[in-house]
Amino acid sequence: MARFVSGGFLSSRIRRIAWLAGVDLRPGLPRRGEAVAAWGHAGTAARAEAVAARFRAPILRVEDGFLRSLHPGRTREPTLSLTLDRSAAYFDSRTPSELETLLATHPFDDGDLIGRTRHLMEEWARSGVTKYAATRADLVPPDPGYVLVVDQTRGDASIRLGGASDATFREMLLIAREENPGARILIKTHPETQAGHRAGHYGEADAVFGAELETRPLPPKALLAGAVKVYTVSSQMGFEAILHGHRPVTFGQPFYAGWGLDDDRMPLDRRHRKLTRTQLFAGAMTLYPKWYDPHRDRLCDPVDVVRILEARARAWREDRAGWAAPGMRLWKRAPLRRFLSGQVRYTEDATRRALVWGAPADEDEAATRLEDGFLRSRGLGADLVPPLSLVLDGRGMYFDPTRPSDLEEKIIAASQLDPRALSRARALRQAIVAAGLSKYNVGDVPPDLPEGRFVLVPGQVTDDASIRLGTSEVADNATLLRAARAANLDACIVYKPHPDVEAGLRDGEIDAAEADVIARAADPVALIARAASVWTMTSLLGFEALLRDVPVTTLGAPFYAGWGLTTDLGRTPARRRAARPSLDALVQAVLIDYPRYFDPVTGTAAPPEAIVHRLAYGPDPRRGPGNRLLAKAQGALASYAHLWR
């Protein structure tokens, strides 16, 4: 147990992470054997130090981890990580911290630890997230070839306790000029300085003799990619420079200095060990901090926090300029506002980006199109269950093969990835299959089925846009079923009506005379598990079958057709033949890169792994009585779906 005497520890998030890490933080004075918690070396730390000295109690130094949140802590956004150190704060070089001891003594001979750390480093480097992840990937970075000088906020404890001072920053800029004559000097301001929270050490007066200030919220990944050399005092940017292959010049004594991976201008005599990059990150990222997953309320691996921040940063970037969706249906508005970070108005607004649902032909070509994602909910959209995933497409829409879409571009990009970069997609597919998830996650135990395997034919909604835009000769359920029968004369044909049609919410009912079994209200995943193959026009069930390695024949042009993974009897776009993605690459594009996910429990953007967990284990978002009444009214108007969709 540890006691605290400052209000900052009243944060439920801080106390929750500490408790999960085995530290019970409680207010009050310490008793025998209890420590006093101090937040780093901030102003309130002096009070904790005085109490600890009075009661002869040890001090527990608490600080944010190296990947914290979307915005700085001064915005009161809860942290996703903590460091809990009983020796010293990790940035205090006057005495060894637990992190320094770990880096100096740990054998780093555990293959699992090294493998996890390498995976973390690769995914972190690709993601571009940093301690405060609200950076803008849409900004054009400066032309490469510059020397990067990293500023920090005045009064930062890591400067003073890292053996440096304000004068060190003047010296660093001078030496950067001397060692790189004629080079462009790019001075990167701190995010808190950009936001007006705290002053930095450099200003316009320093932007002379070939130096310029970079105040834009660029991701460190983009800045470091163009740098030929990096100079820092004790900034975390130096640590990330090592991640991205640099050997930073350090003028202070940060935790990452002195291990053979930096050009150390103020060496610490006690740091003699030479570490590899992977060993440094194994200690500083995998072993030392406590990482927290708010979607599952548990401690987690740092790679999980990378993914959480990546999802939140994407939502912030896409929503920050605001959306205008004047034609949005009434029932969609409240959940959509939450999904889009509150940045949507339902009136005409020329200052915001236009947003329309689906792919209506009469809408503005410049509008971004919006649709449900592929892991949507536990319940039907037509039954007014809010979505946990949406797709936003600026080119077209995934179900419209008549034009390119953002999804096609992402599939082509994923097809070019190294197989190691697709390990996340493989793990995600395995988790979805193991949890038995589908788009809506509805359905009962299938009816009695014949022995052996069968051909599964999923029905679709009559007015579905994917049929209108993505089919030709076979464009309705009856024709599809006849085609499947003609090609599989001796097979058992199982027809599964669409759940919206079965619920009486949409049109598409047929007598299905060619089918041997009609699997009404059946769980699609249970059917796929028994199927020898799937025949479909454009149904998402075809993609769900691919996830489970079941062969798929398409008679239309769904988003997953034309890439060499299906048998295509319909006409697919010739442009798709330029790429031949693996199934993992398709999953990477379709379930990771293309959709956005939202967790209604935390009220934040989320990675797909969190939504898989939410769909598998709950809790689920509940509909109010108004939604249920409106859903029933829509059922009575199923033939007039255009009035409410």
Looking at the predicted structure, is the pLDDT value of residue 22 above 50? yes
Write the CB contacts of 269 (distance below 8 Å, at least 6 apart in sequence): none
The torsion angles phi and psi of 16, rounded to 5 degrees, stand at -65, -45
What pLDDT digit, counting tens, does each position of 592-631 carry?
999 999 999 999 999 999 999 999 998 876 555 555 455 4
pLDDT score at 450: 80
CA distance 581 to 417: 9
Looking at the predicted structure, is the pLDDT value of residue 645 above 50? no
Cβ proximity of 271 and 100 under 8 Å: yes
What's the whole-number mean pLDDT along residues 625-638? 49
Q: What are the start-end ranges of the E strands in 90-182?
A: 146-150
Query: What does the mean pLDDT of the chain come to?
Result: 93
Looking at the predicted structure, is the pLDDT value of residue 639 above 90? no
CATH 3.40.50 is held by the domain 126-273: yes
Strand, coil or helix: 432: helix
Domains 126-273 and 410-617 share a fold: yes
The torsion angles phi and psi of 203, rounded to 5 degrees, stand at -145, -165
410-617: CATH architecture = 3-Layer(aba) Sandwich (3.40)
What is the CB neighbour count within 10 angstroms for residue 299? 15
Looking at the predicted structure, is the pLDDT value of residue 640 above 90? no
Cβ proximity of 538 and 399 under 8 Å: yes
Q: What are the start-end ranges of the E strands in 497-543?
A: 517-518, 531-536
Strand, coil or helix: 540: helix
How would residue 644 be classed by pLDDT, with cut points 50, 70 and 90?
very low
- Which element (helix H / strand E) includes 393? strand 389-393
What number of H helices and E strands is found in the chain?
A: 22, 26
pLDDT score at 234: 98
Looking at the predicted structure, is the pLDDT value of residue 215 above 80? yes
- Which element (helix H / strand E) includes 375? none
Q: Which two tokens stand for residue 644?
A: 């409410």
pLDDT score at 622: 57
What's the whole-number mean pLDDT along residues 312-330? 95
What pLDDT digit, counting tens, does each position of 547-597 carry?
999 999 999 999 999 999 999 999 999 999 999 999 999 999 999 999 999
Residues in the chain: 645
What's the whole-number mean pLDDT along residues 450-460? 92
Going 479 to 485 to 488 to 494, the CA torsion angle's sign is positive
Residue 30 preceded by cis peptide, ω within 30: no
Looking at the predicted structure, is the pLDDT value of residue 247 above 50? yes
* Maximum CA extent, the chain: 88
pLDDT score at 41: 93
Compute CA distances 605 → 76, 294, 303, 600, 610, whole Å. 17, 11, 16, 9, 10
pLDDT score at 624: 52
What's the whole-number mean pLDDT along residues 225-235? 98
CA distance 361 to 347: 20
Using a pLDDT cut of 70, give the percent of the chain over it. Answer: 95
pLDDT score at 610: 98
Q: Which two tokens stand for residue 272?
A: 């003699």
Q: What are the start-end ranges of the H helices in 248-363?
A: 277-281, 302-319, 330-339
Using a pLDDT cut of 90, give the percent of the chain over it. Answer: 83
Cβ proximity of 536 and 550 under 8 Å: no
Q: Which two tokens stand for residue 523?
A: 């769980």
pLDDT score at 625: 53
0.85 exceeded by pTM: yes
CA distance 588 to 416: 11
Q: Which two tokens stand for residue 293?
A: 């997953």
Residue 362: DSSP 8-state: T
Looking at the predicted structure, is the pLDDT value of residue 280 above 70? yes
Residue 592: DSSP 8-state: I
pLDDT score at 598: 98
Looking at the predicted structure, is the pLDDT value of residue 443 above 90? no
Strand, coil or helix: 617: helix
More confident residue, 633 or 577: 577
CA distance 522 to 526: 8
Q: What are the start-end ranges of the E strands in 337-379?
A: 344-345, 353-357, 368-372
What pLDDT digit, counting tens, does each position of 31-87 carry?
999 999 999 998 889 999 999 999 999 999 999 999 999 998 888 899 999 999 999
CA distance 428 to 425: 5
Strand, coil or helix: 236: helix
Looking at the predicted structure, is the pLDDT value of residue 398 above 80? yes
How would residue 447 be classed by pLDDT, with cut points 50, 70 and 90?
confident
Domain range annotation of the chain: 126-273, 410-617
Cβ proximity of 402 and 389 under 8 Å: no
pLDDT score at 361: 61
